[in-house]
Amino acid sequence: MENDALIRTRALSRRYQVGQQPVVALDGVDLDVGRGEFVALVGPSGSGKSTLLNLLGGLDRPESGTIQVADLELGGAGEAQLVRYRREQVGFVFQSFNLLAMRSAVENVEMPLILAGVKPRERRPRALALLESVGLAARAHHKPSELSGGEMQRVAVARALANGPMLLLADEPTGNLDSNTGQGILDLLRQAVAAQGVTLVLVTHDARVASYADRIIHMLDGRIERIESGERARDALKSS
Ligand code: ADP
Ligand code: MG
């Protein structure tokens, strides 16, 4: 693998069987993503964006083709390897936040630390520092129902970063937020890329959000339709 590529997929394909009918979700995707790169996945609903993200996160297995992340080939990895990969190397952020409703903000951030075996005494200070880094120190003991959407997504970002992942996967992370609040979440994610060298793959419907990426991958019918530079997209938005 080229030394600056973190992700490499080749002929990556995934079908779903719906009744008798096979649905092609991904159809031969070849994609390289560099370490520390921010790529946006865009395209119409049903074009395969979430399927690709789930495969990259080891939540799903390819049907054919390969998907290499760092030195792990996810299609051929054992189940225990995949579990470790998801816990230690990947942070997920979802549109619907996916926080535990009965747990406070700080307890939500502690969950991945518990799964990674971080000692109780180290967990709480680390989770509090993470909440502080997303501007939520004052909300540490609030339950999700006592937080705004933007605050919940900040908790989710802190949780995603808890184990120092090399890869951050975000599926419409600003989709449920107004544009100012969404911009704040995007800034946090970009900060993780800039300060910690995290690689960010982000699905979005929002052309402005996508324009912050280094590259914009346009998906259509399970394929990469074209790849656009984020810089060009930003220029185009400015002049429109
Ligand atoms: P996107 O995120 O771009 O909207 P998806 O990756 O969710 O697209 O879906 C791609 C295609 O695969 C769609 O046709 C969708 O209906 C189908 N699909 C996705 N997940 C499943 C599933 N669990 N079972 C059956 N079909 C699915
Ligand atoms: Mg989707």
Q: In what order do the strands lie in the sheet with 64-69?
A: 21-34, 5-18, 64-69, 72-73
Q: What is the pLDDT at residue 195?
A: 92
Domain-located, residue 3 = no
Any idea what the CATH number is for the domain that residue 201 is in? 3.40.50.300
Angle at 151 between CA 148 and CA 152, to 5 degrees: 85
Query: In this structure, is residue 29 part of a structural domain?
Result: no
Q: Is residue 12 part of a domain?
A: no
Query: Does residue 11 lie within any of the structural domains?
Result: no
Q: Are 77 and 36 contacting, i.e. CB atoms less than 8 angstroms apart?
A: no
Is residue 103 within 8 Å of residue 47, measured between CB atoms? no
* Residues in the ligand 1 pocket, defined by CB under 6 Å: 16, 18, 23, 25, 43, 45-51
Q: Does residue 19 lie in a domain region?
A: no
Residue 131 falls within a domain, yes or no? yes
Number of domains the chain contains: 1
**Among candidate residues 163, 28, 16, 19, the one with its CA nearest the CA of residue 89:** 163
Give 69's DSSP letter.
E
Contacts with 157 (C-beta within 8 Å, 6 or more apart), sequence order: 93, 134, 173, 185, 188, 189, 192
Please give the residue range of the domain that contains residue 111.
35-60+78-239
Residue 15 lies in a domain: no
- Using most ligand atoms within 8 A of CB, pick from 12, 18, 20, 23 the residue to mutate for ligand 1: 23
Does a structural domain hold residue 20? Answer: no
Please tell me the distance from the alpha carbon of residue 191 to that of residue 183, in angstroms, as a whole number.
12
Bridge-partner residues for 220, per DSSP?
Answer: 223
Q: Residue of the nearest CA to atom 14 in ligand 1?
A: 46
Choose one of 50, 60, 203, 205 to mutate for the ligand 1 pocket test, by most ligand atoms within 8 angstroms of C-beta: 50
pLDDT at 4: 77
10-residue averages of pLDDT along the chain (240 residues)? 82 94 96 97 97 97 96 95 95 96 98 94 97 97 98 98 97 95 96 94 96 98 97 90
Q: What is the pLDDT of residue 3?
A: 57
Cβ atoms 57, 86 nearer than 8 A:
yes
What's the pTM value of the predicted model, to 2 decimals? Answer: 0.96
